[in-house]
Amino acid sequence: MIEFLFFLFSALAVLSAVMVITRKNPVSAVMFLIVTLFSLAGLFVLLEAHFLAAVQVIVYAGAIMVLFLFVVMLLNLGHAAGTEFRGSFARTLAGAFGLGLAAFTAWLVMGGRSPMPGAASGSVTDPILPLLQEHGAVGAVAVPLFRRYLIPFEVTSVLLLVAIIGAIVLARKEAP
Amino acid sequence: MSPVLIRIALLVSAALFAIGVVGVILRRNAIVIFLCVELMLNAVNLSFVAFSRLLGIDGQVAVFFVMAVAAAEAAVGLAIIIAIFRHYEDVDVERFDLLKW
């Protein structure tokens, strides 16, 4: 069952990602990216990252994609412009570069050692499941986040504040 | 969770990243280019989560920071696109040639 869901979400994510870059209408592209993000949330659940899956749906598929849709509607871009793709040189470059990158990363993944050495003999302990049982899905992430990574976490809040102020200043009508 | 599934997750991540790169090179609409950047960020997130299944919870913490940076980047980037649209009445990146010589 887990394997079936894993393959289903994987295929859905890749197929709708292809649709994102081939649809001419920007609204369709945003919608297919939402499908990709939901499939990734499903994969996160299967990989025991339950809290991240919830954040993925709420923050990414909810907030950020609504922001994108809002800008598409605001600029009245909800129709295909006719010149959505670049010329033949860029198409060749994109195809060659994309195929090369996919082949290289696939070679890196498939060519190396087994990602979990000793898994077959059962000598490796699972690093996530004991944490989930001890702290719960939220606590397992919260404990390292508020202890080891406390300083980066606080710096992130400053980054978000700067982004808010920057967005307001940039999108304002009159020049500052 | 068998190692085979983790390997498949990494392959899916590689495919999503390559699709995002192709989209950035191929498209002319600045907003769709931003969507492809978000796709690449999510491909990296999937890699982080898959590796956290092997190496511990720290990969999931990294995904949080990636999401925060992605949110900040989307807000500022879309504001820049709105400002450029006011100037050019267009979001076609091939028309933004102010810095070209």
Q: What is the ipTM of this complex?
A: 0.91
- Decide: A63 and B71 in contact? Cβ < 8 Å: yes
Q: How close is the nearest chain A Cα to the Cα of B11, in Å?
A: 6
Architecture of domain A1-80: Up-down Bundle (1.20)
User: A86 pLDDT band (50/70/90 cuts)?
Assistant: confident
Distant-in-sequence contacts of B81-89, Cβ < 8 A, 24+ apart: B81/A71, B81/A75, B81/B30, B81/B31, B81/B34, B82/A71, B82/A74, B82/A75, B82/A170, B82/A171, B83/A170, B83/A171, B84/B30, B85/A75, B86/A173
The conformation of residue A127, written as its DSSP 8-state character, comes to: S
- Best of B49, B69, B87 to mutate (most A CBs within 10 Å, chain A): B49
Q: Does A48 reach chain B within 8 Å, measured CB to CB?
A: yes
pLDDT of residue A81 exceeding 70, the answer is no
Residues of B in contact with A37 (CB under 8 A): 42
Q: What is the reported pLDDT for A121?
A: 47
pLDDT at B3: 79
Put simply, whether B1 touches A (Cβ < 8 Å) is: yes
Q: pLDDT grade, residue A37 (50/70/90)?
A: very high
- pLDDT given for residue B90 in this prediction: 82
Q: What is the mean pLDDT of residues B34-48?
A: 95
Interface of B with A in 40-69 (CB under 8 A): 42, 45-46, 49-50, 52-58, 60-61, 63-65, 67-69
Over residues B85-101, the mean pLDDT reads 80
From B31, B64, B92, residue closest to A68, measured CB to CB: B31
pTM of the full structure: 0.89
To the nearest whole Å, the CA of A52 is away from the closest chain B CA by 7
Q: Tens of pLDDT along A92-109? A: 888 898 899 888 888 888
Residue ranges of domains in chain B, CATH in brackets: 3-95 (1.10.287.3510)
Q: Please indicate whether residue A111 or residue A45 has the higher confidence score (pLDDT).
A: A45
Share of chain B above pLDDT 90, in %: 61
User: So where are chain A's domains?
Assistant: 1-80, 127-176
> What pLDDT is recorded for position A117?
53
Q: Output the pLDDT for position A87.
A: 82
Q: How confident is the model at residue A76 (pLDDT cuts 50, 70, 90)?
A: confident
> Does residue A145 sit at the B interface (CB-CB below 8 Å)?
yes
Instruction: Give the residue from A38, A26, A35 showing the smallest Cα distance to A69.
Output: A26
Band (pLDDT 50/70/90 cuts) for residue A6 is very high
What does the pLDDT look like over A124-172, one tens digit per residue?
A: 677 888 888 888 889 889 999 999 999 999 999 999 999 999 999 988 8
* B30-55 vs A65-74: helix crossing angle, rounded to 10: 180
